[in-house]
Amino acid sequence: MYAPMARVATTSDVFNAIAEPQRRDILALLRAGERPVTELAEALGMTQPGASKHLRVLREVGLVRDRKAGKQRLYGLDARKLRAVHEWTGGFEAFWNDSFDRLDAYVQDLKAANGKKEE
Amino acid sequence: MYAPMARVATTSDVFNAIAEPQRRDILALLRAGERPVTELAEALGMTQPGASKHLRVLREVGLVRDRKAGKQRLYGLDARKLRAVHEWTGGFEAFWNDSFDRLDAYVQDLKAANGKKEE
DNA sequence: TTGACACATTCCGATATCGGCATATGTATG
DNA sequence: CATACATATGCCGATATCGGAATGTGTCAA
């Protein structure tokens, strides 16, 4: 009937998939090539079911692909969808590079007043 | 003293902040310049408290800054942290252009070598 | 077939998240 | 001061999420 219409499922999109640090780690590791689940799990210090679950999310959004190889299942990177994120953030490039409006003034202000901020 | 150690707070990082579509919309809108909360809310079809809450998240991760202007509070973009995301995804650039070629090569390699002596 | 291995799925508990609503805080203006 | 306006915060309900543990499924090999 009414129902507070709570949260919307978000695990099905790339932005959310890479919001999880461990999943980013998996993707980064896969740049070196295909890897079986157990190897990923061990390399990243996570349990096998944990790795499987993260891989499932990554697979469902299309960031990785899997391939059977005997007993194992090799996961490989499919970075095409990361391009969308790269381009989205790229749309803000003008705002972190060069001065714009009062942002620049504000930033200068911060630097002057705060010194170093670390990054 | 047990506690399944459930989920880790993630709202305090940039990747998670931009995982929410409405927050991305806010950031995109703010490229046009500073805006008061109400205007953002109306422009994006969200309630005022809703906008305030999203803005709070964005502020806490440093993606927006706020400035008092009379009765209003103007929110402005601070895209510096988006650069980190841009660069992280940029680390995969070589893989979204020819990821399949690379993968194929890797696969051939595996088949030829059989074992897992990679690198 | 049996057993070992690789991986996926399910159930669970704790907590995070989001939207809606009501309300509190803050600020200008009369 | 009082009131209107702008924004923030608190509470709630529904649901999503994550990790752990146990268990299920699939595949090779003897």
**B30-43: per-residue pLDDT in tens?**
999 999 999 999 99
Q: Which residue has the tokens 């709570």?
A: A6
Nucleotide of closest approach to A70 (CA, C1'): D27
pLDDT of res. A12 = 77
Specify whether the CB–CB gap between B106 and B95 falls below 8 A.
no
CATH 3.40.50.300 fits A14-77, yes or no: no
B66 CB neighbours strand D below 7 A = yes
B chain contacts of residue A101, beta-carbon cutoff 8 Å: 33-34, 76
pLDDT band at A117 (very low <50, low <70, confident <90, very high): very low
Q: Is pLDDT at B116 greater than 50 in this prediction?
A: no
Domain boundaries along the sequence of chain B: 14-77, 83-113
In angstroms and rounded to an integer, the radius of gyration of the C-alpha atoms of chain A is: 20
pLDDT of res. B110 = 45
Specify whether the CB–CB gap between A61 and A9 falls below 8 A.
no
- Please report, rounded to a whole number, the percentage of residues in chain B having pLDDT higher than 70: 72
pLDDT of res. B97 = 81
A chain contacts of residue B19, beta-carbon cutoff 8 Å: 10, 13, 15-16, 19
Residue-wise pLDDT for A44-86, tens only, equals 999 999 999 999 999 999 999 999 999 999 999 999 999 999 9
Instruction: Print burial letters for B25-63: b (CB count within 10 Å at least 16), e (below 16).
Output: bbbebbeeebbbbeebbeeeebeeeebbebbebbeebeb
Q: Where are the beta strands (DSSP E) in A62-111?
A: 64-69, 72-77
Q: At a CB cut-off of 8 Å and minimum separation 6, what does B84 contact?
A: A119, B14
Residue-wise pLDDT for B61-74, tens only, equals 999 999 999 999 99
pLDDT of res. A94 = 92
A106 vs B: CB within 8 A: yes
pLDDT of res. B41 = 98
CB pairs under 8 A between A and B: 104
B19 vs A: CB within 8 A: yes
What backbone torsions phi and psi does residue B75 show, to the nearest 5 degrees? Answer: -100, 135
Query: What count of other Cβ atoms lies within 10 Å of the Cβ of residue B71?
Result: 6
Residue in B77, B89, B95 closest to A95 by CB = B77
Q: A31 or A106, which is more confident?
A: A31
The per-residue pLDDT of chain A, averaged, comes to 84
Q: How far is B4 from chain A (nearest CA, A)?
A: 14
pLDDT of res. B9 = 54
Q: Is pLDDT at B89 greater than 50 in this prediction?
A: yes
Å: B115 CA to D29 C1': 18
